[in-house]
A and B are shown apart, each in its own frame.
Chain A
């Protein structure tokens, strides 16, 4: 699938697939809704943890995970609406400053799951400036396939907390549902900890 849409914005599933290329030990937490379906569409993987809900919580799940697994790159993949509900997390993450955490926001400017209502990012609210103001020193706003490839490399570099915003086409795509929550949780922990994860 070509990554660039007709209006110059990027196709979200092509972006996610490119970010997950040669993922190695990369752990991924997604926000609810379309980013969760994107993550599932990229292929089932034990180190992918799509959230089915908990709107506003994806970045903080990523922080807890990144602090628990400091030697592993962790990427939060979420939408602009989910990020907007938990903006305080950007301040908390910047202060905690985990080297291995990246927050990637797929910004389509609308609430796609609920009927394409306009979101604040389409009215001029700039998530990259907010992240900068919180203290993120690594910021990215890729607009083409080369930029996405560079972002993927930055995610794996683990050189300080990273915030990226990717303007994506507000397309409505077929649902690709991930497994049920407890299955996701147990196999994720087993991938991180081994069989010990299955015992309290």
Chain B
């Protein structure tokens, strides 16, 4: 589902002092040969989305719901190319049954997921799905790893891309809310 906090979409997605992990993620996607990038707009991925949109080798496909991205990346793999899905943790709940597609047909479907509902969250509605994200992915046999510090994000994503594309299955990197910067929109008003 789209993030409820679209008013904040223009905010920088990461603290100024953090390493430039969105650029690192874009390079990792390029190195992995990813050409289809399915997205539901997300503040945490805003910088990466811009980099993918500016890359002529990548096709960014805007989705209405994250489960479309699972099917899209599965179709990309069937057609001999490589896709990725960028989403927020709230979107993982939308994907659950669609994850039976890459699980059953053994399709390479990597996901890069920005977390909400954990580190310093201000919005109560983000907490239930954020706290259930890992359990939902594990319940559907998605191989996961977790980056809690900015310097770990690119390495974790590369591990997910390699695992998905080499072993033909869904895999996900969870990018902790601590990396994105705890949100406290009350301070913005």
Chain A residues in the interface with B (C-beta under 8 A): 27, 29, 49, 51-69, 86, 88-89, 91-92, 95-96, 181-182, 184-185, 188-189, 192-193, 197, 200
Q: Inside 8 A of B78's CB, which chain A residues have their CB?
A: 49, 61, 64-65, 68, 185, 188-189, 192
Task: Establish whether residues B65 and A88, one from each chain, have CB atoms under 8 Å apart when the complex forms.
Answer: yes
Residue-wise, chain B 19-44 has the 8 Å CB interface mask toward A (1 for contact) of 00000000000000001100000000
Q: Taking CB as reference atom, which chain A residue is nearest B102?
A: A54
In the complex, whether B115 has a CB less than 8 A from a CB of chain A is no
User: For the complex, is B76 an interface residue (Cβ under 8 Å from A)?
Assistant: yes
- On whether the beta carbons of B71 and A57 are closer than 8 Å, the reply is yes
Contact stretch, chosen from B103-111, B121-129, B171-179: B103-111
Query: Known: A64-B71, A200-B168. Is A96-B61 also a contact (CB below 8 A)?
Result: yes
Count chain B CB atoms within 10 A of each CB in A51, A61, A91, A184 and give the residue with the most: A61
Q: How far is the CA of A29 from the CA of B72 in the complex (A)?
A: 12
Contacts of A62 in B (CB 8 A): 75
Residue B167 is within 8 A (CB to CB) of chain A in the complex: yes
The residues of A that contact B100 with a CB separation of less than 8 Å are 53-54
- Chain B stretch 50-86: residues in CB contact (< 8 A) with chain A: 59, 61-65, 67-81, 83
Looking at B61, B71, B80, B107, which has the most chain A CB atoms within 10 Å of its CB? B71
Whether B189 sits at the interface, judged by CB under 8 Å, is no
CA distance A130 to B68 in the complex (A): 18
Cα–Cα distance between A86 and B94 once the two chains are bound (Å): 12
Given contacts A57-B70, A57-B74, A189-B78, 16 further A-B contacts (CB under 8 A): A54-B101, A60-B69, A63-B72, A64-B72, A65-B76, A67-B81, A68-B80, A68-B81, A89-B68, A181-B105, A181-B106, A182-B104, A182-B105, A185-B78, A192-B79, A197-B80
Q: Find B80's partner among A55, A59, A66, A69 (CB 8 Å cutoff).
A: A69
Closest to A184 in B: B105
Chain B residues close to A by CB (< 8 Å): 35-36, 59, 61-65, 67-81, 83, 97-98, 100-101, 104-107, 165-168
Q: Are A67 and B67 in contact (CB under 8 A)?
A: no
With A57-B70, A89-B68, A92-B68 known as contacts, the answer to whether A64 contacts B98 (CB < 8 A) is no
Residues in A whose Cβ lies below 8 Å from that of B105: 181-182, 184-185
Chain A contacts of B97 at CB under 8 A?
53-55
Instruction: State whether A61 touches B71 (Cβ < 8 A).
Output: yes
In the complex, A97→B74 CA distance in Å? Answer: 19
A-B residue pairs in contact (CB < 8 Å), sample of 6: A60-B68, A61-B74, A61-B78, A68-B78, A89-B71, A181-B105
Instruction: Pick the contact of B75: A60, A181, A200 (CB < 8 A).
Output: A60
CB of A81 to closest CB in B, whole Å: 15
Minimal beta-carbon separation of A3 from chain B (angstroms): 30
Distance of B90 from chain A, by nearest CB (Å): 16
- In angstroms, Cα B185 to Cα A94, docked, is 35
